[in-house]
Amino acid sequence: DSAARKRFTDYIQELNRELMTQYGKIDILWYDVPRPLESWEGWNSLERNQMVRELQPHIIINDRSRLKEDFGTPEGSVTARHGDWEACMTFNGLSWGYLDSQQAAPYSYNAQRIIQMLNRAADGAGNLLLNIGPAPDGSIPEETIKPLSTVGKWCENYGEALYGKKAKSDYRKCSRLCGTSWDGDKTLYLWNWIWPDCGYIVIGGFMTPLKSARILKDGTSIEYEQEGHRIILKNLPQNSPDKIAGIAVLKLEFEEPPEFAHASYYPQLHGGHDLSK
């Protein structure tokens, strides 16, 4: 009823006032489930968020008060959105709360799966929120420690391809072996999932001259050839340079921001032949 709704929203208003005035500088206000009310009017979200911004001028607010505000929060999949966004994922793909090791083990993600999620977030210029579901005593579940420690070590070597502002791109279509992230200018990072034992990687669709290619971890130069849209990275090590998770990152620097034409839209790029005829 209307009176109960007003008591409830007044209570929430004062909770937020306390949070915004009693705990120093607050960076993010992250609302969760907006049910049962179906509109921002029902939650009095506009008035509350205006109050929050007056008290914390530098705060950012997510999109779960039935208003878009500063950033989106896709949940259960790392899916890029327009504007700023943060994918919300659980470590075991099953539950936000605590599960004992026997329950969680069949669903727990390994380091490679987590790095793939990081890649999709970086490639879409987003962020990854990864929940682990602490045990009842606040401890970290045992099955999460090794994968997360491995990812941490991996990030120490390849953080340049992950951290900081990244730009959305369509470049991940360039190779079945790789994901991508892009600095928004002239540098593209190839995140390699399956290291080829043939000694080379072929990527297609880039119409901009390549300036240099290196292994990101240690800066080792990579030989390459470029013919039209096709780049061939040559004389690669037989095994992946990454000994942590088997996911190496290659750094490609172009003369200019790379122009990319996906072959499905430009059939003439296939070996110089127009396959549409």
User: What residues are paired with 178 via a beta bridge?
Assistant: 192
Residue 253: which H helix or E strand, with range? strand 248-254
| Digit-coded pLDDT (tens) for 101-129 | 888 888 888 999 999 999 999 999 999 99
**Token pair belonging to 6:** 């007003």
Q: What pLDDT is attached to residue 262?
A: 64
**What's the rounded Cα separation, in Å, for the pair 4 and 106?**
44
DSSP 260: B
Name, in order, each residue with C-beta under 8 angstroms of 21's C-beta and a sequence gap of 6 or more.
55
Q: What pLDDT is attached to residue 173?
A: 78
**What's the rounded Cα separation, in Å, for the pair 192 and 247?**
5
Predicted structure pTM score? 0.89
Full 3-state SS string of 56-72: CCCCEEECCCCCCCCEE
Of the chain, the end-to-end C-alpha distance in Å amounts to 67
**What's the rounded Cα separation, in Å, for the pair 163 and 127?**
9
Q: What pLDDT is attached to residue 271?
A: 42
By residue count, the chain amounts to 277
Name, in order, each residue with C-beta under 8 angstroms of 255's C-beta and a sequence gap of 6 or more.
186, 208, 209, 210, 211
Q: What pLDDT is attached to residue 220?
A: 97
Q: What pLDDT is attached to residue 177?
A: 85
Q: What pLDDT is attached to residue 268?
A: 39
Q: What pLDDT is attached to residue 265?
A: 41
* Cα 62 to chain centroid, rounded: 16
Query: What's the CA dihedral at 161, 167, 170, 175 to 10 degrees?
Result: -10
Residue 178: which H helix or E strand, with range? strand 178-182
Angle in degrees, 0-180, between the axes of helices 111-123 and 142-158, rounded to the nearest 10: 50
Bridge-based pairing state of the strands 210-215 and 223-227: unpaired
Residue spans of alpha helices (H) in the chain: 2-22, 40-43, 45-55, 101-104, 111-123, 142-158
**Token pair belonging to 8:** 């409830």
Please tell me the chain's helix, strand, coil percentages from 3-state DSSP, rounded to the nearest 5: 30, 20, 50
* Cα 74 to chain centroid, rounded: 11
Q: What pLDDT is attached to residue 102?
A: 85
Residue pointed to by tokens 């026997």:
102
Note down pLDDT in tens along the chain; length 277 residues: 899 999 999 999 999 999 999 999 999 999 999 998 999 999 999 999 999 999 999 999 999 999 999 999 999 999 999 999 999 999 888 889 998 888 888 888 899 999 999 999 999 999 999 999 898 899 988 889 999 999 999 999 999 999 998 999 888 878 878 999 999 999 999 999 999 999 999 999 999 999 999 999 999 999 999 998 999 999 999 999 999 999 999 999 999 999 998 654 443 333 443 333 3
